[in-house]
Amino acid sequence: MRLNIKYVMFTLVIICLLNINVYGTVTQLTSGWEYAATDTITDNTIWAAINSPSNIPNRGSQDTVWFRVPLPAEHNANLALHCSNIDQCFSVCIDGKDIYSYGSKQDYLSVYGSHIIPLPAHKDSWVYIKVFSNWDAQAAADGFAGFVKVGQVFTI
């Protein structure tokens, strides 16, 4: 059986064109981060801007820190958050709802993992990440030493 090279090339070009941006983009959340070194947050919580969630200033002996970052508006359905290297335990909230948690304050073996967290549908929302780490502030980088990305579930 002999294949027509023009037919094969045309088919490959069409397949490539159909696959461009099928799954959307992946965005590393590198700006807009804020933190509050407190156990609980309220409407009166004072947030401070930081460049990265991996090293907050003046943490002192505080073992619980809240981080928040706005989610890109261009993302919508079938999204996931990819968090890497969060030490000990953490939880994730969006639109006031807990959507994920990992580890416990008593479990010292919950060390640095990578987590892919499906996100509910949202529009112009902030994602809140509560991190507990009682490791030394310098050694554990405040419990959050990795990156956070958002994108389609299949590409993240």
10-residue mean pLDDT profile of the chain (156 residues): values are 65 57 72 88 89 73 85 74 80 88 70 80 81 60 72 75
- pLDDT of the residue at 47: 93
Where do the structural domains in the chain lie, given as residue ranges?
A: 23-152
Per-residue tokens: 140: 């554990």
Q: What is the distance between the alpha carbons of residues 90 and 92, in angstroms, rounded to a whole number?
A: 7
User: Does the structural domain 23-152 have CATH classification 3.40.1160.10?
Assistant: no
Cα dihedral 92, 141, 68, 119, rounded to 10, equals -30
- pLDDT of the residue at 75: 55
